[in-house]
Chains A and B, each alone.
Chain A
Amino acid sequence: MSPPPFARWISPVLLLAAWQLASSSGLLPASTLGSPEQIASTARDLIDSGQLQDALVVSLQRVAIGVVIGIALAIVLGAIAGLSQWGDVLIDPPMQMVKAIPLYGVVPLFIIWFGIGEAPKVILIALGVLVPLYLSLSAALRDVPQGLKDVATTLRLSRWERARRLIIPAALPGTLVGLRLSLAVAWLVLIVSETINADRGIGFIINNARNFLQTDVVVVGLLTYAFLGVFTDFLVRLLERRALRWQGGVRR
């Protein structure tokens, strides 16, 4: 017998029930981990007071600015490296070096350089986005099939038509994979940078709660991060499905 569709929910629900049971029986003290019930009510409180929304806006803003800068840089550098041999020779080696440096390892340096305000967080996010997106974009551009480039030449496509009809659609699948990775990294970097120092945002809520052993608040913060990560991944998947229709089956 193959399992019915809802079967995937059985174990998560059982785990949740076990957790709730452990908390209510006193086996799992609230100072270690709050019960699911408690976490739900804390989440409601944080939303009702507007604290969670305010923190969300602040954190989203940080990510948005960092992501936009990172994407813009990745597109410029990736396009130059992917489209010209000299660009590749000049840009790729330093980018490979940046890739080799552990991102979180530069945090102390960034704090020295940029202080503890918004700048180091945004720059760290931008850097986190830049590297995977640059790598996938430049590789995708290099891999545009030579046969199709020959076709574009014999059809005498203009520079603009060539970009719009050949280069961009050919490089899109690989680039979107990189974009998904980039956004996942962006959230991780946000969490790390907010953990180190923040006076506002979701990281601030979590750090503050830690000082008062409010494990339920910490969990609400974690769930918010998780939700944001899943949500952005969903958005990119949506974009992928729209842009890569031709790879699927039937048109429209």
Chain B
Amino acid sequence: MTLLHGHEQPTEVFVTPTVSLRHVNRVFDGGAIVALDDVTLDILPGERVAVIGRSGSGKSTMLRALAGLDRGVTGEVRTGSRPAVVFQDAQLFPWLSVLDNVALGLKGSGAKPRARHMLSEVGLAGREDAWPRQLSGGQRQRVSLARALVREPDLLLLDEPFSALDALTRVSAHALVSELWVRYRPALLLVTHDVEEALLITDRVLVIEDGRVIEDRRLDPNRSRRRDDPELVRCRTELLHLLGV
């Protein structure tokens, strides 16, 4: 860190992080369960970060804190000014049409056209008037992604969004998320228990155990993203080892 003295101007332009956590804690049951243990973390604008860990490691707690869904966290939490979340189950409102789900909460006359455009971006043009229950699991998750992205979030939070999808649908969902990230460039935080998924989609992997970040690994953004790339395989083995597999 550079220390500034007097009227000296900074020589480097510092980017304000989108997410900034300082000594963040979260306990449940009066301290019996420590879900987040002194977590300090920055996520820069447009950065893609994966959080992996076993069930109950605290990864979902971190996401909920960043989504503004948890008022019980202590410490300094600065999250995106417009965070958007894609939940594990698409969590669409079943009584609203697909289009109304995407446009939900948007203001102004441009809401519907924007929602319509975003639906076409996720490959669902023509399904605007369908009810959510008429869609497949993969399609519902795409609606959920459209609902998040139409808000032009500076932080996109993905809570195991692919875990309920079948293998083939998952591959195309991965591709879609990568493609849309290139276009909209939000900071992205992916919570997953799938190491390979983390390595394919993001450029930085955090391993969480007992509420602590035990590994913060940055990857070369220009690396090969082939599943059988030796570097990726090696990295996957190491991370799996950290997870105790």
Residues of A within 8 A of B (CB): 147-148, 150-151, 153-158, 161, 165-166, 169-170, 246-247, 249-252
Find out whether the CB atom of B131 lies under 8 angstroms from the CB atom of A155: no
A170 to B129, CA, bound (A): 20
Q: What's the minimum C-beta distance from A235 to chain B, rounded to whole angstroms?
A: 21
Find out whether the CB atom of A246 lies under 8 angstroms from the CB atom of B85: no
The 6 closest A-B pairs by CB, nearest first: A155-B105, A169-B95, A246-B95, A154-B85, A147-B91, A157-B105
Contacts of B105 in A (CB 8 A): 155-158, 161
Given A155-B105, A246-B133, A251-B131, do A166 and B68 touch, yes or no (CB 8 Å)? no
Closest residue of chain B to A145 (Cβ to Cβ) is B91
Given A147-B87, A154-B83, do A246 and B67 touch, yes or no (CB 8 Å)? no
A157 to B96, CA, bound (A): 15
Find out whether the CB atom of B130 lies under 8 angstroms from the CB atom of A251: yes
A249 to B84, CA, bound (A): 30
Closest residue of chain A to B100 (Cβ to Cβ) is A165
Contacts of A170 in B (CB 8 A): 95
* Chain B residue total in the interface (Cβ 8 A): 23
Query: Interface digits, B129-157 against A, CB 8 Å rule (1 contact, 0 not)?
Result: 11101100000000000010001000000
Contacts of A246 in B (CB 8 A): 94-96, 131, 133
Contacts of B131 in A (CB 8 A): 246, 251
B61 at interface (Cβ–Cβ under 8 A)? no
Find out whether the CB atom of B69 lies under 8 angstroms from the CB atom of A165: no
Find out whether the CB atom of B104 lies under 8 angstroms from the CB atom of A165: yes
Contacts of B97 in A (CB 8 A): 251
Contacts of B96 in A (CB 8 A): 165, 169, 246
Closest residue of chain A to B67 (Cβ to Cβ) is A154
Contacts of A247 in B (CB 8 A): 94, 133
Q: Which parts of B111-134 form the interface with A (CB within 8 Å)?
A: 129-131, 133-134
Contacts of A157 in B (CB 8 A): 104-105
Find out whether the CB atom of A150 lies under 8 angstroms from the CB atom of B87: yes
A155 to B147, CA, bound (A): 9
Find out whether the CB atom of B68 lies under 8 angstroms from the CB atom of A251: no
